[in-house]
């Protein structure tokens, strides 16, 4: 019990700009209002009426507080954790009193100070309960669970890639020793990246450099069969993404698209920023048998789970197979990330 309390006490304030946090607060507070209506009512019809009356007061208060918390989110994280939580509870209490007083003025209600005090207590209690729930949820996901899942999901490298890369480098030792030496350095750098601590976001430029190293190694053995087109548009230099997010997709594209076909193919990578979102598109020829396709879905499920751990509901991954005019098929992966610095 002591360890649980210490874990909860160490959880930072949630990111009040996160769509998942906002949705959970909206649902949680409305469930509390519904529970209060059920407790006070004498029947189903009466509970609906009481909930409607509560909703008229709760919804504006909830939206007002969520807006303020989104605007003040970073400042609330600067003080100590308990101070930030106390400020959130005080904000909910004060706004509930002010809104109740305004409502009393507009409706000429004579509820008096007892009603204002009751409104403040209800607002503060609801805020405290939601903070407790969000801290409890965060403690369930971190730190050991998140670290273990991220490490297991990001440490998956297919043995065939290592063997094929080493064989390709061996074949270069006599023909082009300098290129073989460079390839060994790239392979070592790639494995160094796989072995890093993957709990923190990394610059997008670093992830792209890792992808280019991987593609250079695959180019050694596939030669002219592997063609790559990059299109990078309007990306800030400090933009951060989860580590090893694009590279596994490229490995899928090579393993499931280029390799089984026996012919030359092109992998297209497109990255651009639209408003507050980063869009990543990866397109490759669609080839391979059923076993290859099952492996592809397993890797994509892993990436989807990692995105959920890092971004909650704010990130998404979409998969599509497109039939082209010439009868060929393409496999497309589309990822959308928020252009904000999040950590799990």
Q: How far apart are the first and last CA of the chain?
A: 24
More confident residue, 231 or 256: 231
Which secondary structure element, helix H or strand E, spans residue 319, and what is its range? Answer: strand 316-323
With bands split at pLDDT 50, 70 and 90, how would you rate the model's confidence at 279?
A: very high
Cα separation, 271 vs 112, whole angstroms? 59
Q: What is the pLDDT of residues 303-318, one digit of tens each?
A: 888 888 788 888 889 8
Handedness of CA 11, 309, 281, 269 (dihedral sign): positive
With bands split at pLDDT 50, 70 and 90, how would you rate the model's confidence at 321?
A: confident
Which residues, 6+ apart, have CB-to-CB distance to 189 below 8 Å?
A: 210, 213
Q: What is the pLDDT of residues 127-162, one digit of tens each?
A: 888 888 878 777 766 655 566 555 555 555 556 667
Rounded to an integer, the average pLDDT of 191-216 is: 80
Please report, rounded to a whole number, the percentage of residues in the chain having pLDDT higher than 70: 76
Cα 94 from chain centre: 33
Cα separation, 344 vs 128, whole angstroms? 22
With bands split at pLDDT 50, 70 and 90, how would you rate the model's confidence at 336?
A: very high
Regarding pTM above 0.75, the answer is: no
More confident residue, 164 or 324: 164
For residue 4, pLDDT beyond 50: no
Planar angle of CA 178, 182, 184, nearest 5 degrees: 115
Which structure tokens are listed for 228? 């790559």
331 close to 133: Cβ distance less than 8 angstroms: no
Cα separation, 162 vs 212, whole angstroms? 16
The SS3 call for residue 267 is strand
The SS3 call for residue 265 is strand
Cα separation, 160 vs 255, whole angstroms? 10
Cα separation, 223 vs 162, whole angstroms? 17
DSSP percent split of the chain into helix, strand, coil, nearest 5:
65, 15, 20
Closest CA to 237 of 337, 311, 335, 339: 339
- 93: exposed, middle or buried (Cβ count in 10 Å: 0-12, 13-18, 19+): buried
């Amino acid at each position: 019990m002591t360890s649980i309390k210490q874990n909860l006490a160490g959880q930072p304030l949630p990111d009040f700009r996160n769509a998942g946090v906002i949705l959970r607060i909206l649902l949680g507070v409305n469930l509390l209002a519904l529970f209060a209506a059920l407790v006070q009512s004498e029947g189903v019809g009466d509970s609906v009426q009481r909930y409607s009356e509560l909703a008229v007061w709760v919804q504006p208060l909830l939206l007002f507080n969520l807006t303020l918390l989104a605007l003040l989110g970073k400042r609330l994280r600067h003080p100590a954790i308990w101070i930030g939580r106390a400020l959130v509870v005080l904000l909910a209490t004060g706004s509930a009193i002010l809104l109740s007083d305004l409502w009393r003025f507009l409706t000429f209600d004579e509820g008096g100070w007892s009603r204002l005090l009751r409104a403040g207590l209800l607002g503060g209690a609801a805020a405290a309960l939601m903070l407790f729930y969000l801290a409890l949820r965060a403690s369930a996901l971190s730190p050991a669970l998140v670290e273990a899942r991220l490490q297991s999901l990001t440490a998956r490298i297919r043995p065939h890639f290592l063997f094929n890369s080493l064989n390709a480098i061996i074949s270069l030792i006599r023909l082009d020793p300098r290129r073989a030496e460079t390839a060994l350095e790239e392979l070592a750098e790639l494995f160094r990246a796989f072995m890093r601590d993957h709990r923190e976001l990394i610059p997008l430029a670093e992830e792209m450099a890792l992808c280019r190293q991987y593609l250079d190694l695959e180019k050694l053995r596939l030669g002219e069969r592997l063609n790559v087109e990059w299109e990078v548009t309007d990306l800030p230099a400090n933009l951060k993404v989860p580590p090893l997010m694009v590279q596994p997709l490229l490995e899928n594209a090579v393993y499931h698209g280029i390799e089984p076909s026996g012919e030359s193919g092109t992998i297209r990578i497109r990255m651009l920023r639209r408003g507050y979102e980063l869009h990543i598109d990866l397109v490759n020829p669609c080839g391979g048998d059923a076993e290859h396709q099952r492996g592809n879905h397993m890797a994509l499920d892993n990436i989807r789970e990692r995105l959920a751990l890092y971004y909650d509901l704010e990130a998404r991954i979409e998969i599509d197979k497109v039939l082209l005019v010439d009868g060929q098929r393409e496999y497309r992966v589309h990822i959308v990330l928020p252009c904000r610095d999040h950590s799990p």
